[in-house]
Amino acid sequence: MSTPALFFDGVSKSFNSGKTSVTALDGVTISALPGKVTGLIGPDGAGKTTLMRLAVGLLLPDNGNIQALGIDVLEAPLQVQSSVGYMPQRFGLYEDLSVQENLDLYADLQGVGHEQRQARYEELLQMTALGPFTDRLAGRLSGGMKQKLGLACTLIKIPRLLLLDEPTVGVDPISRRELWAIIDRLVKQEQLSVLVSTAYLNEAERCDEVVLLNEGRRLGQGSPKSYSEPMRGRTFHLSSTRLDKRRLQTQLSAIPGIIDAVIDGEKVRVVTRKAQLPDISDLVADGDTAINGPSKLDDLQIEPVEPSFEDAFIATLKVDTPSVADWFAPRDGAALEAGPIIEVVNAQRRFGDFYAVRDISFKVKQGEIFGLLGANGAGKSTMFRMLCGLLPASAGQLTVAGHDLRRAAADARSRLGYMAQRFSLYVDLSVAQNLNFFASAYGLGRKQRKQRIEWAMAAFELTAYAATNSGDLPLGYKQRLAMAAALLHEPDILFLDEPTSGVDPLARREFWQRINGLAASGVTILVTTHFMDEANYCDRLVIMAEGEVLAEGTPTQMKAGFRSAALPSPTMEDAFIGLIENRQKNKPGVAA
């Protein structure tokens, strides 16, 4: 066997923050094989970024040896840096330089001669489809384009080892698919070795090898199969015609012996602790329990399924947590209103000549989880901001909870909760202070405030962190806090803008559990997301592109349109990409 492209031998690294010392990596030994794609997977705070930075000599290890391409990184960092390509998490682009200027800069820095340059540029621009945009400032590119430009910049001088730190975070599925296609091509054509860290577990399956990291320790290294194979016999699909998939999931996850229950397409995917399904005879059917009483669920369909890397990941890392559903009891007087709670009729939003949203209409019923899907720049965020009253519509009618947003935005706002894409609470205030402030900002009285804050602390398990500054919370807790703050005033509608972007799979599961509980209690939820598998949680959704609605319906309806012999059970991602591609075929001018 040839020398590994990257080799870590017992590497430790800790950081001092104030008085405490945080261990980021603890005696990690890994190797990345030459000419292969190695995935680096782990929850937040596992040490993925630290590992990448150590590999290129940006950090010094406390202990251990690191060799990249057979060169000792400690001894000859410059030599390593001239043969390794590294794309940091934020792509390292100069936003006030144009695409071409960024390429020129990195070509100069990598010492690529002028004679080779032109050919290389053409190749890269063609590969990344950035050719038409060379004069555009990098800051004006969409997230997916930035990511491809960042990749192009690291590839100007063909490296022998490519390190990519979470390259697909915050990038839409089409761009993600394109990025992986580029990586595959590079590995095939140039025999490149790639180390890529990612939060998307389904991407792990595309890697030749996967390194699993948690809290600074290596939990394992091997092919994706080597992880999933031991799970064989522990994974099942469950479904029932008499019980909604979300309620089935909620009930299943409360059963001991079931590690994980997630919605997977139209079914619920279950991972068990042992190689058989535990006793699930207590499941009850959906229905008018007041009249008929709870009835046994008798039509449950159970089929074993192929284990995936994700199953192994969850089984390895998930700690049993008490069910959170109890905290979201149905609310008093939450009688279903007949009409839609959100109604958008021919909404438009212009910025100068540019239409961010053109002529969009949809309705959302009370208690629904309604999804807004689309690539970057599709107009989701603009639509969202209009519905929250943050941005007035240029034309059209928007009604939220019975209030016309044009006339009574403040009244409408008092009935909705909003959770922004980026963590946006006050980082210098403690958890308790944040909650207190938002409770008062929503005008809760003293008694009510106390009561709601107690509820929030309990329902989101924040009590232990009450005095911690919110900026110092782990990412998953930040997201809990943000959601708690948005729910203090018991809103009728909750707006979630990319709530799970950059959040690891474990935290995402917990998050959806709470969302399910909320929806069950009668709160209407409007959500935008990049994770296509999450779209399956929605009751209904719209898919947007270039400010227009491409499709509206239930997830089942959406997927049904793309069922074919080649694709017997299309995923939401297939449906989404299919829709976008159809649109581009029909608009030849754009596709060029």
Partner 1 sequence: MSTTTRMRLRGLIRKESLQILRDPSSIAIAFVLPVVLLLLFGYGVSLDAKHVPVALVVEQPDANTASFTGAFAQSRYFAPLSYNNIQQAEQALIAHQVSAIVWLRNDFSDRLLAGGEAPIGVFMNGVDANQARISEGYIQGVWQLWLASYAREQGRDLAVPVVVEPRIWFNAAVRSRDFLVPGLIALIMTLTGAMLTSMVVAREWERGTMEALMVTPIRIWEILVGKLLPYFALGMGGMLLSVAMAVWLFGVPLRGSFWALSGASALFMLVSLGMGLLISTVARSQFVAGQIALVATFLPAFILSGFIFQISSMPAPIQFITHIIPARYYVAILQTLFMAGNIWPVVLANCGALLVMMVIFLGLARRKSRKRLD
Partner 2 sequence: MKAALTPRLNASLRRIVALAIKELLAILKDRKSRIVLIGPPLLQLIIFGYAATFDLNDIPVAVYNEDPSAASRELVARVSGSPHFHLQANIEHDAQIAPLIDNKKALMVLHLGPNFSADLAHGGSSKAQVIIDGRNSNTALLVLGYLRNIITDYNIDWAQRHGRAKPLATLQVRPWFNSNLVSRWFVVPGIIGLLTLVITTIVTALSVAREREAGTFDQLLVTPMRPFEILIGKAFPGILIGILEGSFILLMAVYWFEVPLRGSLGALYVGMFLFVMAAVGIGLMISSLAVTQQQGMLGAFLFIVPAVILSGFATPISNMPEVIQYLTYIDPLRYFLVIIRGVFLEGDSYAILLNYYWPMALIALVTLAMAGWLFRRRMN
Q: Which residues bind partner 2 (CB under 8 A)?
A: 385, 388-390, 392, 410-411, 413-414, 416-418, 420, 422-429, 433, 436-438, 440-443, 445, 469, 485
Reported in sequence order, the residue ranges of 365-455 that DSSP labels E, i.e. its strands, are 369-374, 395-400, 403-404, 416-419
Residue 96 touches which of partner 1, partner 2, none (Cβ within 5-8 Å per kind): partner 1
Residue 140 touches which of partner 1, partner 2, none (Cβ within 5-8 Å per kind): none
**Dihedral, CA atoms, 441, 443, 447, 453, nearest 10 degrees?**
-40
CB of 83 vs partner 1, minimal distance in Å: 8
**Dihedral, CA atoms, 396, 577, 152, 116, nearest 10 degrees?**
-120
3-class DSSP state for residue 56?
A: coil
CB of 425 vs partner 2, minimal distance in Å: 6
Nearest 5°: the CA angle 330, 482, 468 is: 120
127 vs 241: CA distance, rounded Å: 47
Query: How many C-beta atoms surround the C-beta of residue 153 within 10 A?
Result: 24
Nearer CB in complex with partner 1: 61/377: 61
SS3 of 234-254: CEEEEECCCCCHHHHHHHHHC
Nearer CB in complex with partner 2: 203/497: 497
CA 97 centroid distance within chain? 29
Residue 213 identity: L
CB of 143 vs partner 1, minimal distance in Å: 14
CB of 150 vs partner 1, minimal distance in Å: 8
Residue 424 touches which of partner 2, partner 1, none (Cβ within 5-8 Å per kind): partner 2
CB of 199 vs partner 1, minimal distance in Å: 18
338 vs 462: CA distance, rounded Å: 36
Nearer CB in complex with partner 2: 141/425: 425
CB of 487 vs partner 1, minimal distance in Å: 33
Judge whether 426 and 441 are in contact, CB under 8 Å.
no
3-class DSSP state for residue 45?
A: coil
Residue 423 touches which of partner 1, partner 2, none (Cβ within 5-8 Å per kind): partner 2
Residue 88 touches which of partner 1, partner 2, none (Cβ within 5-8 Å per kind): partner 1
CB of 473 vs partner 1, minimal distance in Å: 20
* CA atoms 336, 339, 340, 341: torsion sign: negative
Residue ranges binding partner 1 (CB under 8 A): 15, 53, 56-60, 77-78, 81-82, 84, 86-97, 101, 104-111, 150, 153
DSSP 333: T
Residue 426 touches which of partner 2, partner 1, none (Cβ within 5-8 Å per kind): partner 2
Nearer CB in complex with partner 1: 159/389: 159
Nearer CB in complex with partner 2: 134/397: 397
